[in-house]
Amino acid sequence: MMDIKMEDQKTQTKTTQSLTMVQAINDALKTMLEQDETTILLGEDIGKNGGVFRATEGLQEQFGEDRVIDTPLSESGIVGTSIGLAVNGFKPVCEMQFMGFIYPAYDQIMTHASRLRMKTMGHYSVPMVIRAPYGAGIRAPEIHSDSMESIFTHMPGVKVVCPATPKDAKGLLIAAIEDPDPVIFMEPMRSYRAQREEVPTEKYQLPIGKGEKIKEGDDVTIITWGAMLSVAKQAAEQAESQGIGCDVLDLKTLYPLDRNLIAESVQKTGRAVIVHEAHQTGGLSQDILSVINDTSFLYLRAPIERVTGFDVPVPFFALEDHYLPTAKRVLSSIEKAVHF
């Protein structure tokens, strides 16, 4: 089911190593720096310090200050220069220290990166990746915990990717770097070190635009991504102990959405629970609702449930636990859908 596309088909003896997500990201960046000299990394504190999360640890040492650049402190500058580099034949991968600090660069993304291909009829394109650690759950201060995917999924011209596991992180990041268009690559920071997984040492890509069914069940479809996947899985296990079978879908790409995956599952179960940690109003759940409405309306046996963050800025420190969807909240929505 995991359709891993091996770059080198001949080497059948694929070796793996046990990595956390942040290590897998480091490995993806290293792989691309090694194999493609147009790959270039930019960001605040990514060089000597290896990034505040250590995602770029050791890379400046190995590849030099010209390819792993500690930039001046300016998000608009980082994204603007990345666009310039991209137009000039490079594949910039820039890091926003936290997704909550991306807003000063919003204009460069919205007004320029997303439109350049279209407005030059393909003469220029922006094969750039913006890496952005997002989400709550690490007891961070104000603005560090934002989860603002929907301001980017609403933006025609960029793709939005969000892995939930180490293996996906590597494969999707490589795919994002090799993608000919701009990609916002959201990294669930609370999953950075939460889990280890065997990750192929080779270069491989996972397809952008494809989600995956993580768990199979007949009664209800749970749709989620990123850090909420583990919450959804927990709730699904609890539901199963009550005899409720759950399809758990990890979307992995938030734009473009894997409409078939959603439709097939909902047509089977007739029920859906969408889980995301972003605010409810204008959240991506509304687009997923439209996909279900467009493709599966007559299959529905219950109203679609949403478990989301509230319409308040993400609260700080311990209060975030009350903001974030929990397995308990997801379970009660599953029950509500099933007992409708």
**Where do contacts with ligand TPP occur on this chain (CB under 6 A)?**
44, 73, 75, 97, 101, 104
CB of 301 to other proteins, least distance (A): 23
- How many alpha carbons fall within 13 Å on the CB side of residue 325? 33
CB of 84 to other proteins, least distance (A): 16
CB of 281 to other proteins, least distance (A): 6
Applying CB under 8 A, among 3, 198, 216, 311 the residue interacting with other proteins is: 311
Between 100 and 137, whose beta carbon lies closer to ligand TPP? Answer: 100
**Three-class SS of 251-304:** CCEEECCCHHHHHHHHHHHCCEEEEEEEECCCCCHHHHHHHHHHHHHHHCCCCC
User: Helices 166-178 and 21-35 sit at what angle, rounded to 10 degrees?
Assistant: 30
Is residue 303 involved in binding other proteins (CB under 8 A)? no
Is residue 52 involved in binding other proteins (CB under 8 A)? yes
Is residue 312 involved in binding other proteins (CB under 8 A)? yes
Between 77 and 207, whose beta carbon lies closer to other proteins? Answer: 77
- Per CB under 8 A, the segment of 28-36, 41-49, 149-157, 182-190 that binds other proteins is 41-49
CB of 310 to other proteins, least distance (A): 5
Quote the CA–CA distance of 27 and 200 in Å, as a whole number. 10
The percent of the chain in helix, strand and coil, each rounded to the nearest 5, is: 40, 20, 40
In the list other proteins, ligand TPP, none, the entry touching 70 (Cβ below 5 to 8 angstroms by class) is other proteins
Is residue 101 involved in binding other proteins (CB under 8 A)? yes
Q: Which two tokens stand for residue 139?
A: 């007891």
Decide the pairing of beta strands 246-250 and 212-215: antiparallel
Helix (H) or strand (E) segment spanning residue 43: strand 39-43
Is residue 64 involved in binding other proteins (CB under 8 A)? no
Quote the CA–CA distance of 303 and 166 in Å, as a whole number. 34
Between 72 and 243, whose beta carbon lies closer to ligand TPP? Answer: 72
Number of residues that bind other proteins (CB under 8 A): 34
Quote the CA–CA distance of 189 and 207 in Å, as a whole number. 22
Is residue 48 involved in binding other proteins (CB under 8 A)? yes
Amino acid at 199: V
Q: What is the C-alpha radius of gyration for the chain, rounded to an integer number of angstroms? A: 20
Other Cβ atoms less than 10 A from the Cβ of 210: the count is 16
Q: Which residue has the tokens 């942040």?
A: 22
Pattern 138-177, other proteins, x by CB under 8 A: -xxxxxx---------------------------------
Task: State which residue has the least CB distance to ligand TPP.
Answer: 101
Is residue 66 involved in binding other proteins (CB under 8 A)? no
In the list ligand TPP, other proteins, none, the entry touching 282 (Cβ below 5 to 8 angstroms by class) is none
Active site residues: 144
CB of 322 to ligand TPP, least distance (A): 24
Helix (H) or strand (E) segment spanning residue 48: none
Applying CB under 8 A, among 50, 92, 135, 325 the residue interacting with other proteins is: 50
Is residue 44 involved in binding other proteins (CB under 8 A)? yes
The CA-atom distances, in angstroms, between 332 and each of 142, 239, 296 are 30, 9, 23
Chain residues in the site for other proteins (CB under 8 A): 44-45, 47-50, 52, 70, 72-74, 76-77, 101, 103-104, 139-144, 280-281, 310-313, 315-317, 319, 322-323
